[in-house]
Every structure is written in C-alpha cells, then in structure tokens.
C-alpha cells in the first residue's frame, strides 16, 4: 500500500476520502484554491498545497498545477474524487507520467467511456442494449433536426462529452429544436470544452437505474448491485437509494449482467458506475432498460451502496490501485436492508433553487444518520463551486424505515443565515407517491409548486418566539447571545402578540402553556428552526429591502455573482411573463432570469461574457397594461 495520497478535489468528497485514508494509516494531502485556504477539507488534511486562484479553470482544473502539487508534497498516489478532472484521461496520463499512482481506471477506459457517442457504439458491439438514438460526425443543425424528426418527438439532445446531468435538453417538437440545440452546445462547451452532441429518443416515465461495478488488475470484476437515482431536478440527482424499489431478482440479474458486460468491454479497473434508463410505465422490465452512460469514477451517491453491502468503496479503490486483488468475490457480496441519501445544498427552492452564498454562521446536522459534509459552521459557501453542504444517508432494514429516518433527519437540519433545501427534501421523502415507489424523473417537476413552496411557522413555534422575545425585552437584552440556546417558559397568558416573521406580519395567540424551543439570537431578531426551515422573528417591521431577481417595478437583477452566457432578447422587444431575458452561469449551472410580467424590455445592460455582481440591475420590463 502507498504511504500518502493527494486528493485532487475539495469539499465533501475530499473529506470522505481522507476519512478512509486515516483509518488505513495513509498520510493525506489536500489541494486548495485561494477561495479554500481555510476550508474544512484543508483543515482535515495532514498537509495542504495551494494550487491557484478561485476560478476552477485556474486551480482544480489545472492539470500542471495539480501534478506539481503532488510532486511537491511527496504524495505517492492521486485520487481525483468526483467532478472536476475525475473523468479526464489526460489528467490520469499526466499523473502516471509523473511516476505517481493513479487511483482510478486506465486512461484508455476513461477515454472510451468519456464520449457518449463512441461509448454507445462500443456498447452495441458488446451486446449491451442502448437507447434508440443518433450519433455521427455531421453536426450541422439541419442534419440533427432531420435525425430528431426521424426518431420521433420528444428527443433528448446530449453533449457527446457530457456527464453529471449537464449538456442535456429535451425537445418536444420541431419549433423548440434550434434554441435547445444552441443552449446544449453552449453548456457543453463551457462544461466540457466540446460542443458536439448526439440524440436519443426520450423515454416516457423514465427511471434512472445504475449499477456499481468494480474491477482489479488481475481480471477480477464484480457488481455491488443497483441504485435508483430517479428523483432529479434539472437532471441533477436529488435523492438516491439502494436497492431500487420494485426491482425483481430477474430484472436485477439482467441489468447487473449488462453492467458487467459494459465494464468488461473496456477492461475496466477500479470503481465505476454503469447508468441505465428504464421505461417504467409497467414496472421494471429487463427488455425496457437501456444503457445510458458509464461514469468512470466514484459516484456522489456511493454511500448508499456502502450502507447495503458493508463495503468501503474508497478502501477498495486504494487496494486495487496498489495492485491488490478485489477483497471479495461476487458470491461474497450480499444486499442487506435499504439505504437512502439526500443531497443537502445551500439554495433557495422557492426562488428557483438559486444558490444561497455567504458565511454559514450556524450549522447543526442530525446525529442519528451518516453525514458526509463539506463544510462546518463558520465556513463560506462561495459562488465558485457547487453548493453542496452535506450528504445525509439513512439505513434501515426496510425502505419504509430508511426513508422515515432520512425525512426526520432532513427536517432536523439547522442553518443560518444561509438557506438550504432541507424542507424540500423532507417533503419529497414524505410524498405518498415516493413512499409507494411511484416515481419517474419528472416526479419533482410535476410537484414543484407544492414541494418548493415554504411552509409558515407552526402556532407552537410562533408562540415560542413570542415568549422568548418578551422575556428578552423584559430583561433588557439587546446584545446578541453567543449562539444557540435552549428556551423554556411558563408565562401568564396574554391575549395576542403581534410579530414579524421573515418580514411578514404575524398575530400570535398565547395560552400560557409550556413552550420549548431552540433559538438563535442574531441581534436582529430571533431565529427558530422547524421542519428544516429557519424562521426569523422580530417585534418591529423590517426595513424595506431590495430583492434579487425580478422586482415589482419590472427590474431584473442578478440573484448571485456569475457570468452572462446568453441574452435571448433585445432592447424594445415585447416579452410575456416568464420569458427568459438573461442567462447567467454560476456554480456550474445556468440560471435563467425571467420577465415578471408582460411588457417591453428596456434598460437592457447585460451582454454575453459580462461578469455580474449579486444585485446588479441587468434589465427592466415596462408594463403596457392600462
């Protein structure tokens, strides 16, 4: 076994890899950009090396700087984590050329599976069923349009070099094809440096099923069963579970055999995931599951597989990279119980899931489930990288038990002042259709209004806030307390109290019963937590604030720092409510800013390539209503 490992990544996955390395007695080396000099993964590591400025292209995506950091630190091996350069063959080659151990599949396997079009051709040759589609060298719009029409609407346009749910657009008819193609190419070029695309027939009511595979350099190859990653938003996974609900032994055998055939076709060594799309209108059937792509790295959702198999996949990666055979044979790997994972992100669901960035002053995560976190209280969540705070993973002997435990864990998350999707996740997990396994990839979109709409505070919570504010006022408290404190009061009843909750007036009826709550004194009100949501209570109305996004006067401002990648309207253009005016790229996602009502565009100041600040005015819509 090697003695030291550099993790060419950051955040949650770097900390996760360090945890196994420490257990095995392997020295850990972190890399960091200027934005991450005091981040949690740097504090976790035995040593850290700065690799460049905050932009990922100048740090975490810089192959020369990463290899130089590994050599400077004396690390013997390099683990790429997921994302960034984890599926870049040139990085693997550079690591090996420097005389270091690459913890991952061979550059040839990465290259073979990295391009969706060539991967499809290889899978067809290997006898693995693939989704009906088109790929070719002729990338002219007319050629692609004709191919899409022949496949039959709806179709998916996919980046040939894509991954992670980016560079994909669904097109329902010919009218939207040109715009979707342009957007897909733009996103693909920005994310992967390659704007080539392929087409696939869009499967209705699809399920996303994937199989964890693992190979060694001695010819060993096993699967560790399947995961279901169907609950997605904008093709980004939100909740994952293992095993897949509704999976029969017959279908499991067929899909796992197909995954092994796919891995065998590229002589796969290391951890990999073969992803399939399933037409699940009549349940999971072996003849309605098709190969979609292979991810030649460790997946974000790998903990659910670890939970149901008892395997540490990172340890297996280390051992295989060191030349050891697989620790277990296929007949020694068994499923045990059920595991569900939710991705906790700093974002605002009711505002289109825009990232919530800044300093995370308060963070409390549940203690009765597995937590793989990327940040701690006091850390910054910045605009340069993704907004993942932590992954919450619950295990139980049954799907019902695991899901219930995870829903309770999400409801117990506390963060301030940054907002998260914790309440949204809890609602997803409590949905009757999810609990019954009636899911497809449009599950969230079909219920978005209900799932993303925030709930108000319960009467009990409002009562606790009123009592606490009253007690503080009676004590003459004005300075903020040190942090979260417990509060309990049995006060004489008062008829009603008028408060403000998150800027909205609230009348609270008090009955004098015991009130119990945890609260955070911010100096500008009290924050109380309930069902994954933070509520700020004050006794005075808030000062007028300028909100980001679309204002009541028709102003459209940047909701977060980013780069303008598209401006699909012109000054003086007539637009309808909901039309996209400006598209900003930030935190690896595109965010469309829309018209707040019907009208005419004026004051358009955004141009493609502009770097914009949070709150910066980009356009205004003038209403023509009488």
Instruction: Dump pLDDT digits (tens) for 479-488.
Output: 333 344 444 4
Q: What is the pLDDT of residue 514?
A: 62
| Distance in angstroms (rounded) separating the CA atoms of residues 556 and 546 | 11
Helices 107-114, 89-97: axis angle to 10 degrees equals 170
Q: Is the dihedral of CA 342, 185, 187, 113 positive or negative?
A: positive
Which range of 176-180, 185-189, 580-584 scores highest in mean pLDDT? It is 176-180
Q: What is the pLDDT of residue 506?
A: 86
Local confidence band at 490 (pLDDT 50, 70, 90 cut-offs): low
Local confidence band at 492 (pLDDT 50, 70, 90 cut-offs): low
More confident residue, 625 or 212: 212
Angle at 371 between CA 309 and CA 382, to 5 degrees: 130
Percent of the chain with pLDDT over 90: 70
Q: What is the pLDDT of residue 512?
A: 60
> Does the pLDDT at position 551 exceed 80?
no
Report yes or no on whether pTM surpasses 0.75: yes
Local confidence band at 626 (pLDDT 50, 70, 90 cut-offs): low
Helix (H/G/I), strand (E/B), else coil: 509: strand
| Distance in angstroms (rounded) separating the CA atoms of residues 525 and 473 | 11
Enter the tokens of residue 114: 């990295």
Local confidence band at 546 (pLDDT 50, 70, 90 cut-offs): very low
Let me know: does 403 contact 429? Beta carbons within 8 Å: yes
| Distance in angstroms (rounded) separating the CA atoms of residues 583 and 20 | 41
Q: What is the pLDDT of residue 476?
A: 62
CA neighbor of 141 nearest in space, from 185, 92, 102? 185
Q: What is the pLDDT of residue 136?
A: 87
Task: Specify burial of residue 439 (Cβ count, 10 A radius: 0-12, 13-18, 19+).
Answer: buried
pLDDT in tens, 88-131: 999 999 999 999 999 999 999 999 998 878 888 899 999 999 98
Which range of 310-324, 580-594, 603-617 scores highest in mean pLDDT? It is 310-324
Percent of the chain with pLDDT over 70: 93
| Distance in angstroms (rounded) separating the CA atoms of residues 275 and 211 | 6
Q: What is the pLDDT of residue 116?
A: 77
Helix (H/G/I), strand (E/B), else coil: 189: helix
Angle at 389 between CA 388 and CA 393, to 5 degrees: 95
Q: Is the dihedral of CA 234, 413, 19, 8 positive or negative?
A: positive
Local confidence band at 383 (pLDDT 50, 70, 90 cut-offs): confident
Residue with tokens 């350099």: 217
Q: Is the dihedral of CA 33, 37, 38, 40 positive or negative?
A: positive
Name, in order, each residue with C-beta under 8 angstroms of 58's C-beta and a sequence gap of 6 or more: 33, 52
Q: What is the pLDDT of residue 481?
A: 36
In the predicted model, what is the mean pLDDT of residues 200-212? 93
Q: What is the pLDDT of residue 543?
A: 63
CA neighbor of 234 nearest in space, from 164, 295, 285? 164
Q: Give me the chain's average pLDDT, please.
A: 90
> Does the pLDDT at position 394 exceed 70?
yes
Q: What Cα–Cα distance (Å) separates residue 598 from each residue in 284, 553, 556, 576, 595?
A: 44, 12, 13, 4, 7
Name, in order, each residue with C-beta under 8 angstroms of 65's C-beta and a sequence gap of 6 or more: 51, 52, 59
| Distance in angstroms (rounded) separating the CA atoms of residues 106 and 86 | 12
In the predicted model, what is the mean pLDDT of residues 29-35? 97
| Residue 13 backbone dihedrals phi, psi, to 5 degrees | -70, -35
> Does the pLDDT at position 489 exceed 70?
no
Q: What is the pLDDT of residue 422?
A: 98
Q: What is the pLDDT of residue 552?
A: 57
Establish how many alpha carbons lie within 13 A of residue 77's alpha carbon, considering only the half-sphere containing its beta carbon: 24
pLDDT in tens, 404-444: 999 999 999 999 999 999 999 999 999 999 999 999 999 99
């Amino acid at each position: 076994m090697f003695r030291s490992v550099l993790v060419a990544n950051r955040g949650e996955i770097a900390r996760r890899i360090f945890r196994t390395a420490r257990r095995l007695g392997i020295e850990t080396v972190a890399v960091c950009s200027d934005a991450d000099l005091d981040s949690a993964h740097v504090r976790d590591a035995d040593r850290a090396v700065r690799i460049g400025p905050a932009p990922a292209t100048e740090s975490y995506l810089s192959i020369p700087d990463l290899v130089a950091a590994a050599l400077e630190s004396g690390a013997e091996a390099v683990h790429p984590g997921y994302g960034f350069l984890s599926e870049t063959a040139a990085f693997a080659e550079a690591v090996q050329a420097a005389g270091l151990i690459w913890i991952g599949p061979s550059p040839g396997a990465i290259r073979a599976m990295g391009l969706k079009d060539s991967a499809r051709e290889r899978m067809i040759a290997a006898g693995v069923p693939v989704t009906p589609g088109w790929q070719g060298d002729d990338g002219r719009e007319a050629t692609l349009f004709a191919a899409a029409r022949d496949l039959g609407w709806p179709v998916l346009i996919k980046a040939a070099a894509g991954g992670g749910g980016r560079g994909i657009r669904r097109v329902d008819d010919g009218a939207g094809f040109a715009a979707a193609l342009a957007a897909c190419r733009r996103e693909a070029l920005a994310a992967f440096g390659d704007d080539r695309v392929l087409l696939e027939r869009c499967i209705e009511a699809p399920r996303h099923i994937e199989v964890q595979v693992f190979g060694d350099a001695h010819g060993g190859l096993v699967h560790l069963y399947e995961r279901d990653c169907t609950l997605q938003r904008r093709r980004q996974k939100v909740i994952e579970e293992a095993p897949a609900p509704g999976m029969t032994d017959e279908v499991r055998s067929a899909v796992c055999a197909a995954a092994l055939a796919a891995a065998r076709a590229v002589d796969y060594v290391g951890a990999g995931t073969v992803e399939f799309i399933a037409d699940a209108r009549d349940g999971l059937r072996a003849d309605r599951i098709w190969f979609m792509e292979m991810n030649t790295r460790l997946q974000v959702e790998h903990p659910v597989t670890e939970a149901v198999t008892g395997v540490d996949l990172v340890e297996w990666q280390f051992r295989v990279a060191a030349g050891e055979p697989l620790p277990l044979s296929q007949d020694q790997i068994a499923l045990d119980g059920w595991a569900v994972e939710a991705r906790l992100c700093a974002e605002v669901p009711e505002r289109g899931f825009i990232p919530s960035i800044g300093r995370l002053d308060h963070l409390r995560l549940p203690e009765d489930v597995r937590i793989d976190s990327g940040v701690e209280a006091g850390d910054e969540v910045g605009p340069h990288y993704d907004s993942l705070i932590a992954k919450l993973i619950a295990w139980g002997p049954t799907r019902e038990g695991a899901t219930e435990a995870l829903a309770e864990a999400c409801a117990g998350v506390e963060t301030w002042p940054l907002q998260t999707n914790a309440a949204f996740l809890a609602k997803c997990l409590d949905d009757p259709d999810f609990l019954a396994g009636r899911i497809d990839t449009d599950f969230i979109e079909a219920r978005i209004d209900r799932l993303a709409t925030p709930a108000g505070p319960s009467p009990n919570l409002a009562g606790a806030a009123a009592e606490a504010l009253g007690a503080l006022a009676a004590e003459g408290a004005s300075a903020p307390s040190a942090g979260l404190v417990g509060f309990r009061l049995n006060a004489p009843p008062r008829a009603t109290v008028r408060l403000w909750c998150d800027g909205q007036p609230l009348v609270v009826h008090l009955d004098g019963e015991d009130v119990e709550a945890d609260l955070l004194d911010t100096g500008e009100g009290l924050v109380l937590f309930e069902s994954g949501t933070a509520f700020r209570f004050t006794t005075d109305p808030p000062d007028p604030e300028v909100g980001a996004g679309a204002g009541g006067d028709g102003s459209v401002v940047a909701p977060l720092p980013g780069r303008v990648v598209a401006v699909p309207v012109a000054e003086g253009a007539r637009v309808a409510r909901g039309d996209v005016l400006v598209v900003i790229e930030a935190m690896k996602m595109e965010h469309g800013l829309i018209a707040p009502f019907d009208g005419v565009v004026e004051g358009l100041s955004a141009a493609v390539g502009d770097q914009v600040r949070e709150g910066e005015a980009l356009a205004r819509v003038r209403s023509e209503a009488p």
